[in-house]
Each structure stands twice: as structure tokens, then as C-alpha cells.
A = this chain, B = another copy of it.
């Protein structure tokens, strides 16, 4: 059952748009949209398939499914087209999975604000486990077993372990060691792992960021979800994909998922399937566009991270995606004098005093009393496609006036807050 409260990131985004329309100047760090133009080849792909109006198979046509299978195969996950499905967003995939997989949900705290409400819609309990000090997106392996035990003695049935690799909201990526520890526990405790890898291709510097996904370690009990919303800035096109396990779980889980999909959305829109077929094949021109995007996200996320640390917050250095998740605990006393005592008042103060929109940590499941928030940095690239293209192609995007001005304002605001 739903609470009637809209997903807080989408709600905040609508509030910002309304306030901007009323003339307010707001720096929008509150919504995880990659505000970049679509690659021209993607637009051409959509146009070229605009006459496709038939439903087609629920899992998607063979072409897009093969492309997605190739995408995973190139990432050390040998995959057949029959193992994958495309869907209207990985959000829809995650909802369907929650509806068809029995048992309760284990999520990292903090984590993306949709896992828990989906669980509620599906009638599930949510078992939140704090993230380790070094990274987000995963429960601290040292706490997971105890959390499972406690949940079971409370009568819950923890069954689905959600990992976000790389992570939203911390912009970090769990190390192979951490992933291995979690997979060992998952196997031991008979959990299904759902690995949300929608930021997988936005690791800022892949050469220095080791990667190990749970599907490599637990191929029989890992479902991987992904999509084009983040990597290719196609949030408004709603293109997601899912890879099902091979073996034990395979056929019945996939069958139950497709049964639900057939009743929930029928299929991904046919023209969007064409885009999926093109994009998941990863042609050179898109790989290049993606690499530029990841570099830009990295440069700006690191810059915002620097400003936060400079102001006195602690913050994990971002290595992927376009988020930072600072903690203003070291400044608690100073913030207290401004009436800021928890994450809600911190979010409100930043918006009302400085016009800086961020997403309070408690909206991501974090302790309401903590002084933490998520700042999304991918909407700082300019208001026009021209500015955004300039940012993408620039060797020094931080020096572009339309970006440096925003960074200056952000830095000024955080310093002021901490002063």
C-alpha cells in the first residue's frame, strides 16, 4: 500500500521546477538526472524506428535482447539472449522483481529512495543495514549476518539482497573484497542478490577502479539490472534491462518476472527497443560519448566533493556516477546555531538560504538526526544543449564560466553554512 508520498527525488525536482518558474534562482543538486543532450546517433536511432507500432514480445524483440546479452558478455558475464529482457526503465524491473520474489528486502542504508517504497507496495518488510565506512551501495559485511538474525527473530523473512554497484547516493563503488564477503554471506544465507548496476559505465577512471560484480561470483543467484538513463543521459526515454541468473533460479524466476511484466507494462515501447538494440551494442561513437560523460561527471563530482571537504564536512571521495554524500557532523555545533539540527532542517536551510537543492539523508533511509544529504552533480553542465556539449568536449570543464560560476556559488554557500 502506498503512503501517498511521492518519490522524494521526483517530488523535489517538481518543487525546484515550480520555484524556478516563479523566478527563484536555484542550484539543483537534488535530482539524479544526467542533464546532458542525447548523442545525435541515439536521436537518429529513435527517429529511424518511429514507424514501429506493434507490441512484440514481452521480454523484448530478439535484436535488443541479443544486444543486451552482448553488453553483459563483454563485462565478464557470458549471457544468452534468452536470459535477458528489456523494460520501460530499470525501476519497473525492480518493482516487478519485488512483486514476484517472495520474502523481505535487505538494502544498504542510505540507498536509492525507491527500493523501500517499492517493497512497501509489494507488501514486504525492509531490513536496512548501514554501509561500511569506505563505500556505499552495500550493507557493511560485518553487520549483515547480525541484521539477518535480528530480522528473522522479529518474524521477517530476509530473502532479497539489493546492492547498488556503483552506488547512488555515495558515488562510490564497493571493492571486490567487500563484494566477495557479501556474496559468501548471500550464498550461506540463501539470499537472492539483486545487483543494480545502472551506474556501471560511469566509473570515472575504470583503469584505477577494480570491479567485481556479484553475478561473476554467484551466477546462479544474482539478477543484474541496468538501463540507459544514467550512462547515456536518457532518463526521459525509460529504457531498462535485466539479466537473469543461469541454472537453479533461472527459468522459474524469469518466467514469473515475465508473467508480471506482461500484466504490468506489456513490453518496452517498440521504438525504444530499437534504441536499446543500437545502444547496448556499444558502437564506437557511443563509447566515446560515454567516456566523455564519465570524465565530465568525475571532474564535477570531485570538485563538489572538494568544496564540501574544504567547508569542513567529511565525505567519501566519489569514484563513479554523479553523487556525493557529505556528512556535516563535524560542524554540528555551528549548524545548531542556525537552527539546523537534522537532515530535514539541513535540506530546508540550504534551499531557503542559499537556493541549493539537495536530498536529505533521511529520505534515503539514513538516520534523521544525521547531518547528511545527497548532492547530485550532473545538472551543473548548463541550461542549454550548447553549454552541455561544450562541457562534454572541454578538457577543462571546471573552467567554463557557466560551470565555475555554479561551483563558486556552491562553495560559497557551504563555507557560509559552516562559518
A residues in contact (CB < 8 Å) with B: 1-7, 10-11, 13-14, 17, 31, 33, 35, 37-38, 43, 46-47, 50-58, 88-89, 91-92, 95, 99-100, 102, 114, 117-118, 121, 123, 233-238, 252, 255-256, 258-260, 262-272
Contacts and interface: CB of A to CB of B under 8 A. Distances in A.
Contacts of A102: 1
A34 to B, nearest CB: 9
A258 B4 CA distance: 8
Contacts of A270: 236-237
A117 B271 CA distance: 27
B99 A265 contact: no
Given A3-B259, A236-B267, A237-B271, A88 B88 contact: yes
Contacts of A118: 263-264
A277 B10 CA distance: 22
A38 B55 contact: no
A56 B236 contact: yes
Given A4-B259, A95-B265, 7 more contacts: A7-B259, A7-B263, A52-B236, A88-B88, A92-B265, A121-B263, A269-B269
Nearest to A57: B14
Give the 10 A-B residue pairs with the shortest CB-CB distance, closest first.
A236-B270, A7-B262, A46-B50, A4-B256, A4-B255, A38-B53, A55-B235, A117-B263, A238-B269, A2-B100
B38 A259 contact: no
B269 A236 contact: yes
Contacts of A264: 91-92, 95, 118, 121, 264
Contacts of A58: 6-7, 10, 14
B10 A262 contact: yes
Contact of A53 (B1, B3, B91, B235): B235
A263 B255 CA distance: 23
